Structure 1
Amino acid sequence: MIGVTDIEAAAARISGHVLRTPTLPSPGLTDLLGVPVTVKLELLQRTGSFKARGATAKLLSLSEAERAAGVVAVSGGNHGIALAEMAAALDVKATVIMPRTAPARSIRLAEEAGASLRLTDDMDSAFRLVTTLRDEGLTLVHPFDDPVVAAAQGTVGLELAEDAGPLTDVIVSIGGGGLIAGVAAALRARRPGLRIWGVETEGAEAMSRALAAGGPRPVPLSSVVTTLSAPSVSQLTYDHVAALVEDVLVVPDREAVRGCLDLAEHAKVWAEPAAGCLLPAARLVRERVGDGARIGLVVCGGNVTTGDVRDWAERFGLS
């Protein structure tokens, strides 16, 4: 299990390379949800998401031989952008593998940062290809199955614990689970009375299916939210969620997209559906715990275009 000392060490390692993002009360979301809401704005992070933290920590931990070999990553969008940009900043050659369903902007940004881009038909084939390239000698920077990466994502939780006012519940989106594993470890150490909740979208249910099965299992993927679409969680992330997280909630894609629109209108932030799903989850949390809830939301990323959201809104009848 990742300990708070691991997360503190990660914070020291990445200091100066990433931002300490704002943690702020949101009057608009407080009015919308009817309970006090605080937002941790990781969409303002370098590369547009929390993924810069883990990518930077891993790159800085590599030996000279591992750096010289070049790094490779598989991504539904944000991890690929983060690795491409942070590797360029540290003068490391990067290869990024994404499914063709990844947001066009994410593909473009990774390529513009100088990464060698490989596109596959789906996430399953992307994970198979990254394993092949690792076996051929490239250094793998896994998006979540790595304690160095998960500890660095946990620095989000350290900052939230230090900067937020009183909270009862914190909600974190789950793809492969690296973010919630690190955040839960940090918050359990710094604010042990908090309840931590995960949220997934329907068709990207790797963690909730794992919890139901008693361990990681491959899952079919159909969600439009590619940044949450991991074909399986890892034992590392499963163990942390099973031990530290209250529950994992699952919401429809339509409600995640509606959440993007609500975040823009009420919180004045432009977020992707991986963050939009926090709002329907927050409504469910409030129903469970009552009006005394004081909710923290980790707004994980904002790498989405107006065209993407418009197209999803039309698809789900939200426009």
Structure 2
Amino acid sequence: MIGIADIRAAGERIAGHIVRTPTVESPGLSALLGVPVTAKLELLQRTGSFKARGATARLLALSEGERAAGVVAVSGGNHGIALAVMAAALEVKATVVMPRTAPARSVELVEATGATLRLTDGMDEAFALTGRLRDEGLTLVHPFDDAVLVAGQGTVGLELAEDAGELTDVLVSVGGGGLISGVAAALHALRPGVRVWGVETEGAEAMSRALAAGGPLPVELSSVVTTLSAPSVSRLTYDHVSALVTEVLVVPDAEAVRGSLELAEHAKVWAEPAAGCLLPAARRVRERVGDGARLGLVVCGGNTTVADLMGWAERFGPR
């Protein structure tokens, strides 16, 4: 299990490379949900999501031989962007493998860094190709099955614990589980009374199904929220979530998209549906906890275009 010492060490290592993002009380979201809400604005992070933290932690831990060979990552969007940008900054050659369903903006951002981009027909194929490239000598920077990377993501929780006021419940989006594992480990150490809730979208339910089955297993992917679409979680992230997280809630794609629109309207932030899914889940947590709830939302990323979000809004309806 990752401990607070690991997370603090990661924080010291990456401090000169990433942004300490704002942790702010949100009057708009507090009025919307009827209880105090604090937002950790990780969408203001370098590369537009929390992923820069873990990618930087892993890149700085490479041996000279690994740096020389180059790195490879598989991603639905944000992990690939983060690795490509931070590898370029640290002068490490990177290859990023993405499914063709990845957001067009994500593909453009990766290509702009000079990284090698490989596109596949789906996420399962992307993971398979990444495995072959690793076998050929590239160093894998896994999006969530890596203790050093997860400790880097845990710095989100470290900052939240240090910067937020009173909290009873914190909600974190779940793809492969790297972010929530790190955040839960940090809060368990520093705010032991705070409950941590995971949020997935329907069709991207790798963690909730793993918890129901008693361990990681492959899942079919159909969510439009590709940045949460992991084909399975890892034993590392499963162990942390099963031990430290109260529950993983699942919301429909339509509610995640509406949540992004509500974040824009009420919190004045432009967030992707991977963060928008927190709002419908927060309503459920607020109902279960009651008026004494003090909610924290980790707004994980903002890498979505106006065209993407408006297209989803038209498809699912704004209300």
Q: TM-score, normalised by structure 2?
A: 1.00
Whole-angstrom distance in 2 between the partners of 1:58 and 1:188: 23
Question: C-alpha offsets along residues 158-207 of structure 1, whole Å, 9 cap, x if unaligned?
Answer: 00000000000000000000000000000000000000000000000000
Report SS of the residue matched to 2:298. strand
Q: 2:86 corresponds to which letter in structure 1? A: M
2:116 is aligned to 116
1:257 is aligned to 257
Q: 1:306 corresponds to which letter in structure 2? A: V
Whole-angstrom distance in 1 between the partners of 2:34 and 2:202: 26
Query: By how many angstroms is 1:114 displaced?
Result: 1.0
Whole-angstrom distance in 1 between the partners of 2:9 and 2:189: 14
Whole-angstrom distance in 1 between the partners of 2:71 and 2:257: 33
Report SS of the residue matched to 1:109. helix
Alignment of 1:25-36 (within 5 A): 25-36=25-36
Question: C-alpha offsets along residues 86-112 of structure 1, whole Å, 9 cap, x if unaligned?
Answer: 000000000000000000000000010
Whole-angstrom distance in 1 between the partners of 2:108 and 2:118: 12
1:212 is aligned to 212
Query: By how many angstroms is 1:74 displaced?
Result: 0.1
Report SS of the residue matched to 2:130. helix
Question: C-alpha offsets along residues 255-303 of structure 1, whole Å, 9 cap, x if unaligned?
Answer: 0000000000000000000000000010010111111100000000000
Give the gaps of 5 or more residues in structure 2. Answer: none
Q: 1:195 corresponds to which letter in structure 2? A: R
Alignment of 1:48-59 (within 5 A): 48-59=48-59
Alignment of 1:158-307 (within 5 A): 158-307=158-307
Query: By how many angstroms is 1:318 displaced?
Result: 1.8
Whole-angstrom distance in 2 between the partners of 1:7 and 1:134: 27
Report SS of the residue matched to 1:198. strand
- Do structure 1's residue 154 and structure 2's residue 188 form an aligned pair? no
1:6 is aligned to 6
Q: CA RMSD in A?
A: 0.5
Q: TM-score, normalised by structure 1?
A: 1.00
1:316 is aligned to 316
Q: 1:233 corresponds to which letter in structure 2? A: V
Kindly tell me the number of residue pairs found equivalent between the two proteins.
319
The runs of 4+ residues in structure 1 deviating greater than 2 Å are none
Query: By how many angstroms is 1:242 displaced?
Result: 0.2
Give the gaps of 5 or more residues in structure 1. Answer: none
Q: 1:267 corresponds to which letter in structure 2? A: A
Query: By how many angstroms is 1:317 displaced?
Result: 1.9
The alignment-based identity, stated in percent, is: 81
2:18 is aligned to 18
